[in-house]
Amino acid sequence: MIIAIDGPAAAGKGTLARALAAHFGLPHMDTGALYRQVGAALLADGLDPADPVAAEQAARTLDLTRFTDPQLRTAAVGEAASVVAAIPAVRQALFEAQRAFALQPGGAVLDGRDIGTVVCPEADVKLFVEASPEARAWRRVAELEDRGEHVSFEEMLAQVRIRDARDSGRADAPLRAAEGAHLLDTSDLSIGAAVDRARAIVEAAIRRKAAGTG
Ligand code: C5P
């Protein structure tokens, strides 16, 4: 059972992915954290995330295992991640690790921007999680606030729009809903309600698979 979850920043992908992974007993990979680790490494070395040579070098040589490092969650690292993610050589360098994770026996849950379109087009279930830019900006402000980082709603909304434009407008693996993806708009849903809907979508897919019709 491979579950692919894509969508823009702060739509709720990570929360849904973790909940589904726990519920169905599957391993989970936050693929955005791969790009964030590359972006963070460049910033730490005083390098430009838009430098394709430095970014590819970092993507190929770093030991990318710091998935839960809180330092990856800052607004600056998110921005750097989205810049390195537009470089095709970086995407290529990170592809195999994602693919191998998805293909492990028993399956996996992966969340990102191109899981259903590029990394795992054959996924059993594809979810495209959306929310209005305003709802996403409020969530990010609250999330950063919890970590002691203060960003105004207006500034965050501008950042969300810039990130959306970059992620959707890039030539290589732009953010878009995969063919056959189930759309889930979380703008007006509580976390619990969004998880319930996602779980129902996966359960229906499991039933179709068992019946040989999906
Ligand atoms: O999801 P998160 O905000 O952590 O992702 C950070 C950035 O990494 C995104 O803005 C996007 O540019 C990039 N990314 C990507 N492909 C993925 C996951 C993340 O391009 N599969």
Residues within a 6 A CB radius of ligand 1:
9, 31-32, 35-36, 78, 81-82, 85, 112-115, 163, 167
What does the alpha-carbon distance between residue 136 and residue 153 come to, in Å, rounded to a whole number? 10
Closest residue to atom 10 of ligand 1, CA basis: 82
Residue-level pLDDT, tens digit, the chain, 214 residues: 999 999 998 999 999 999 999 999 999 999 999 999 999 999 999 999 999 999 999 999 988 888 889 899 888 999 899 999 999 999 999 999 999 999 999 999 999 999 999 999 999 999 999 999 999 999 999 988 998 889 999 999 999 999 899 889 988 989 999 999 999 999 999 999 999 999 999 999 888 888 887 6
Instruction: Tell me the domains of the chain and their CATH numbers.
Output: 2-201 (3.40.50.300)
The structure's pTM equals 0.94
**Contact criterion met (CB below 8 Å) for 3 and 110:** yes
Yes or no: say if 124 and 18 are a contact pair by the CB < 8 Å rule: no
**What tokens does 190 get?**
């509580």
- Identify whether the C-beta of residue 35 lies closer than 8 Å to the C-beta of residue 116: no
Q: At which residue do the structure tokens 């989970």 appear?
A: 28
Q: What is the best residue among 113, 163, 170 to mutate for testing ligand 1's pocket, by most ligand atoms within 8 Å of CB?
A: 113
